[in-house]
A and B are shown apart, each in its own frame.
Chain A
């Protein structure tokens, strides 16, 4: 990505420009270093590097270490489960929504479009809370884990629907025409010809969406009680261990590592699919449709 950007903004640097860039690099490096040193000094001054604050999290020899990581591991498992169930459910509902939107006539489509706009406009955290409240109001007595999963699904299925729609629309018209010409119905064309191609192209975009969903599971700690996800477990640990900065640092690292792995996987998949001309176009369209989502 950065290569074409640079080509737009400046020429290949000559000797004078290279000298200027070198000076700029040295100054910038000094500034970055200075900030880092200030932060580290401040942290050291407040005793944030004391062994007792870090040891339970990073030193396997302490007696707390196995207990702490057993709990964090349990929390991580809940986080991964919620994300996995939500992404599969969003995929099923999202594809159905997209099919409905693409297949219905102009007026019949309106309720579907309205529903999509409604779910897109609500913050996920509000959707999760409303789902939980609704469950408890109608006496549907399930674990709050399912409020989280349903809330995440409602929010993300519309994004998957948009990704699917972009994937299907980016396929060449000839695919539909050929399908109709050999006597398939519109439904069969969608099911047998358009969706399989679109879904394949959508894979990278769906994995990127999984990153968003994984991050959003942390919202359970804000509005739901009884979901012991990674953040909730960490939140309890930091009260016991009295080391908020250290605990949240470790937890953030765990989230970042998992998300980076997923992200790299999505990029690799995207590159592989882009080798084929057709798949590449659909994959790019699907990726662009999901790109606006930042997650929380």
Chain B
């Protein structure tokens, strides 16, 4: 394991860079995913079909194809950015489709009677949504969205593997090609880096689930 123990500072840098990709993608996909979920449950049919089309297309395209299409397809049409930005954008677009479905399934768990009761005592649409439905939906949404985000952290490895530079994958490549460390121990180091991220996220999610749990 000398590839790991000799180069702890390199690995730490790579870890932070990989964490950064995941963090940006988490913020972006939560925002975009929630927006699309709002589209999908809105009373406006056009918005509903926009949301449904987005989810259908993005869910069934491999992330790798999406990332390649963005990174190699956009520069010819005059959209230029670094691989890092392209990678994060691709990951956001892909993950948002899954966040949307998770949020939607959370909203669907709120019993119909809650909304009916809210309307019956005369709350407006905004009030019943803001005071009655969303607070309950938020709790129900935590586990599925958390699972999507953990999957996203794993997918952020693909962004790194495509070559944004500085992340855990590029540390692995540098150690094995330029510095001549053994492939296996270096790959193990990279695996440990990702495990730290996903296992921590999993533990945090378990705590959040326990605190959010409600008896129904």
Contacts and interface: CB of A to CB of B under 8 A. Distances in A.
A245 B199 contact: no
Residue picked from B114, B154, B156, B187, most chain A C-beta under 10 Å? B154
B131 to A, nearest CB: 14
Given A28-B46, A248-B69, 14 more contacts: A2-B41, A7-B115, A21-B43, A121-B195, A122-B194, A219-B161, A231-B68, A244-B68, A245-B77, A248-B73, A252-B66, A255-B61, A294-B152, A295-B62
A222 B162 contact: yes
Contacts of B44: 21, 24-25, 28
A42 B151 contact: no
Interface of A: 1-2, 4-11, 13, 17, 21, 24-25, 28-29, 32, 42-43, 46, 48, 117-118, 120-126, 129-130, 133-134, 136-137, 211, 214-219, 221-223, 231, 235, 238, 244-245, 248-249, 251-252, 255-256, 259-260, 263, 291-296
Given A9-B133, A235-B68, A255-B62, A296 B41 contact: no
Residue picked from A4, A8, A11, A235, most chain B C-beta under 10 Å? A8
B155 interface: yes
Contacts, number: 191
Interface residues of B, number: 69
Given A121-B194, A255-B62, A129 B187 contact: yes
Contacts of B77: 42-43, 46, 48, 245
B34 interface: no
B65 interface: yes
Nearest to B162: A222
Majority secondary structure of chain A interface residues (helix, strand, loop or mixed): helix
Given A231-B64, A248-B69, A292-B144, A9 B76 contact: no
Interface string B36-57: 0000111111111010000011
A137 B184 contact: yes
A25 B190 contact: no
